[in-house]
Chains A and B, each alone.
Chain A
């Protein structure tokens, strides 16, 4: 021990504080001073300067004369710079790695060392608090999920009341101040030199875990942190760096088995985030998260080397490390908190945002905007309070997400569509999208349904806010947002169970915004920075995502663009809208390509128009012109005050000049076109079925919101140019009307559920899922009713009457898409035979189709829920009552349920009554002639287990095994190691000859062509996502840099 060393230094293990600095700010002296003031007796300080432009040596010498200084000629990044300690220091027991913008309290190092010994920890970190506000917590250790997404353990900015002051194991400690056991640091090879900034702490701690070391946070050590990294970097590449380094760490740290498990999930999360970001217009974010994969792919060799290095010191298995990680997905949590994509920035600029907010409140126009935003947020949140977190009733097209993500993905991949009577047809892309989303939600399908249904409201409102971005007026944006929010349309869609309408409400302003941008005309010329091709890609991707659920959007978008062109014609100009039309057409074509081969079902040879647009007038028939103008499609917000909405939108037509007037006319043309389509379609004047009124009215609402915003701009800029007269009066009326327009929806919000029915048919139909009923064998349910009330995808049968099939019990999400192929039309043929009085044995006709129950709905929800009555056409009840094998069951006044006394389980060993000639009937090419005289109701069920829609297994008796799925040679039966193919039955189904009773399996063999199709479709989506995100261009820019 040297003279002058503090007492006790000889007993204290040597600690080296390693301060890495680069272009330090004025805080450096304070930082070094705080290190020098540590009460730890055996502390040395090494300052590593990473090529600062101004040599900090004099400042260091002045602040901490005893410090050692090492100067680097280049800046290799924080980790690589810190690793210099391994070359220049020997004999240290601990290293304390410090940023140059921290302030240690005097006992911090002592506390860290003491706890390291006490806990036998390899890595310890302090409690980080805000510089200058030591009561404001920043971090007390960090958690991370399986994909390396970190999540803080305390609320940022939370008041420190010592509530987190206990030593605890954490997955990582923040890198601002980290103490590492020197031997551990050396065995790990120090920081990963490839991780320049951000993520180095996670990487080090994860590897420490792998080596078997504990990572502990010690709140007794308190360190203030300025977080000044961003101010010293010229580009904001935090998100990109985080994504890259997170993936690199995962690739290095996981063993092969866990890597195989976790990597695909990480890929799915990335894809979802990229698509979401793209849909939200955050193209760079999309590129950032995608580029992480290519960045790591290029460093595959390095990663392999580091994996080998880590394997040499591995002390813990991945399974044990996984237990240290957070459960679920931190990314999802982040998403649900609305932080996705902006979380990093938010963290960095929280104080800035606070200043902005304060400034906004002081600025007049912003005050109006913020007021509008606040009102809208409150309105929607307050009005939806009973729905948020609760169970959404399954009404009309809002159906339960009753299947897990892998089940949906399995159906998508299988090449077999079980809907209807099944067919070898491509499945809707939506099943894949929902499956991936369900995976991202960790299988929480109920939550996913909530997000996809209720999330449409904020999504639409954010879109409306974005739609008016180019107007350059905060007031106008507020007005546009308010108009879109007080339109009764989305709330009516919720109450009527029109998910398709809600989706269009969410998508319409985004789509309209892209069309405006594509025009390149003032004031939306921002879009011209993108080429037409890029615009087609971006809009095409948006349209494709929406079309997965509402296919009609591929027609609707060009119609909107065409309306813009017509509007331009009315104002003698606007060639830019022709570009919008071209972009819209290209985008729709691209969307159709992205949905291949499913989109082939839209051809006349498939389901045709009804597969795309729906099966009947779903509500337009009883909407008058006035209701359409007021955007009222249901019972929510009904009031004459609703006229204020179009009134507000009309102001720009009266007082607007130049582009305000031109765009107002175009907006109104879009709105009028949509209204006219609903109006004409509902009255049968279009000659084609039209979808739910909300689907077509949503673009009108977006256009009206834009027109209202334009009115506000005109008020600001044009009104003063007129002499006093009617225009001023109109402006006042419009302004007053806008306030009044909020009243009806505000009143409707009081209930908190937007009149969504309190109950659905789930409980009514619960008897179908009772054990006694289910034991009789698998069955189908035939739904009949007005297209607006059917909870399944329907096929038209007559004007105002549709039918749809669902598996036993309540319909689910996969029953939402119609299957136009296969033998499903047999159902319609049987119904027509009965309706024409050509058979009183409808039960026998439907029995071999596995149809056990016929449910006639005249409402979309139970009668007590008060939903509107939409009875089926006259004669249906009489037709069904006339059948000799249908027995009526009283359940709910809204439903008439018949049980088919002649039904045959979907999988059964056929047992004809009276010794009828079964072989002849099975071989008959025409199903009904063969089965109408055949009583098969005594056929026992077989193959009770159904692990998937394409695989059934269980006991089977000897005889003819009947499978009520569309005939296909790809169905095969396996019994006792033998495989038998299917023979056609009744001209449409499958039959297998079973010689010996026993265990058997029937499965559908997916065609190799299907795998090719899936691969092709996935490749197309990835390419389009990458191209739309400008990935190639982005990579080139990085390369040049």
Chain B
């Protein structure tokens, strides 16, 4: 009996101890599991060579006239293998037209929608049988042309920090649904006069495999700035902004931009300049529900680095910071800039260049910055015809110097652009190269490769025609 009593306590203690341990160390918080991506991507990036397919969506066309879209699709293959696939032209009210597509290794091709379809509003889906491919699209009208990257993926939300429905401007949001199911979207604006959610743009259907064009001016009239959010209730879409100016206020031409698929705490602009007649503005849009505190850091080509400009962007609001008014950098001094949210609230930022006489650059461009840094960037667009300027700007945001080279995709091979090999770039600095002058032969897709993270921008503004066209490069894996 005594022996049993001696056994009882340890046995009970052991059993109770295990159970108490389970109760005390009850781990219930588990890391959320994900499978695949959420669908949101920071900016257009190219797939690696192991990808089974590459798909790019090009939403906007210039809609020049009936039966004439003015859309060119620019496909660049920076890989070592030729790619084949299809381009599907989707015109409103017509069956999709599928055309085969071949792109040689280290080569690029340009496909004109007007060669395939007889329509004004055309969108395109480019599908290729592997990675190492990037696609841009260009729209051309008589008063100029503009280039923007196509989207490698659709998204459930798109953001535009800028846009204008001023007297001389027309802004069109191009909503492209390439999928077999219908999409339903809500569109809201944040303008210089407050927030607006037009009733007609709530629950707006975007039928399957079609494009819906929303003239922003019909809903937010005469706004100097009209930031926008396009969010889907069902389905996914691709959103471009097509901006035109009639010249009545001095601005002429056309501008094209792919909306940003996600806010980010950092947006980098490798180039920038303001001078008499050429205004440079940063547009910061906070689509979230918390106020954002942002700073604009400028790295000028010469002189001291100025103190960053700090602003608060209210939730749901947009803010414009004029480079001249803020006096962050002297006129005529080239610079790079970074818009950074210092309280962690992600925002969307664009940089606008608006040129009127007496500036030699006349036109309007507004481009989202880059939320990413990468060691390799692709500049797909080559010859747009009557090109007068083709400048590549590279910004080194890191703390150390980098060496970079620029290589033209010269058809089956890469050719280093003369004078652009192992160019050193100091930390926090940027350089601009006029590749139109440096490259041999016709313009080709370019790859900028550095031994550290950089951000690359291209300025394709023609010298003779009106309009300013700037776009970021496409980061490569």
Contacts and interface: CB of A to CB of B under 8 A. Distances in A.
Interface residues on B, range: 35 or more
A570 B153 CA distance: 62
Contacts of A757: none
Contacts of A872: 35
Nearest to A622: B28
Interface in A988-1004: none
Contacts of A939: none
A237 B53 CA distance: 76
B200 interface: no
A297 interface: no
Contacts of A624: 23, 26, 28
Contact of B38 (A572, A675, A676, A874): A874
Contact of B7 (A572, A625, A683): A572
Give the most central of B40, B129, B180, B208: most A CB within 10 Å: B180
Contact of B36 (A836, A845, A885): A836
Contacts of A328: none
A533 to B, nearest CB: 33
Given A571-B7, A672-B15, A878 B156 contact: yes
Nearest to A653: B12
Given A798-B33, A838-B50, A873-B34, A879 B7 contact: no
Contacts of B131: 838
B154 A882 contact: yes
Contacts of B1: 657
A801 B50 contact: no
Contacts of A653: 8, 11-12, 15
B236 interface: yes
B423 interface: no
Contact of A834 (B7, B36, B156): B36
A1032 interface: no
Nearest to A833: B52
Contacts, number: 154
Contacts of B125: 884
Interface string A786-809: 000000000001111100000000
Nearest to B30: A621
A879 B23 contact: no
Given A878-B36, A884-B178, A625 B51 contact: no
A626 interface: yes
B85 interface: yes
Interface stretch (A145-153, A592-600, A603-611, A928-936): A928-936
A884 B34 contact: no
A196 interface: no
A690 interface: no
Nearest to B37: A875
A672 B36 contact: no
Interface of A is mostly: mixed
B161 to A, nearest CB: 24
Contact of B234 (A799, A834, A888, A901): A888
Contacts of A837: 36-37, 47, 51, 153
Contacts of A672: 15, 18-19
A887 B235 CA distance: 10
Nearest to B48: A838
B39 interface: yes
B240 to A, nearest CB: 18
A800 B36 contact: no
Interface residues of A, number: 60
A876 B34 CA distance: 8
A840 B208 CA distance: 16
Contact of B35 (A661, A684, A801): A801
Interface in B123-162: 125, 127, 129, 131, 153-154, 156
B400 to A, nearest CB: 31
A723 interface: no
Nearest to A650: B12
Contacts of B235: 881, 888
B360 interface: no
A545 B22 CA distance: 33
A928 B26 contact: no
Given A839-B52, A873-B34, A676 B18 contact: yes
A878 B156 CA distance: 9
Interface of A: 570-572, 621-622, 624-626, 628-629, 653-654, 657-658, 661, 665, 668-669, 672, 675-676, 679, 683-684, 797-801, 833-841, 845, 872-876, 878-879, 881-888, 901, 914, 928-929, 932-933
- Which 7 residue pairs of A and B lie closest in terms of their CB atoms, listed nearest first? A878-B39, A835-B36, A879-B36, A625-B22, A625-B23, A875-B36, A887-B180
Given A876-B36, A879-B37, A884-B179, 18 more contacts: A571-B7, A571-B11, A572-B7, A624-B28, A654-B12, A661-B4, A679-B22, A798-B34, A799-B33, A801-B35, A845-B52, A875-B36, A878-B38, A881-B156, A885-B180, A887-B179, A888-B181, A901-B180
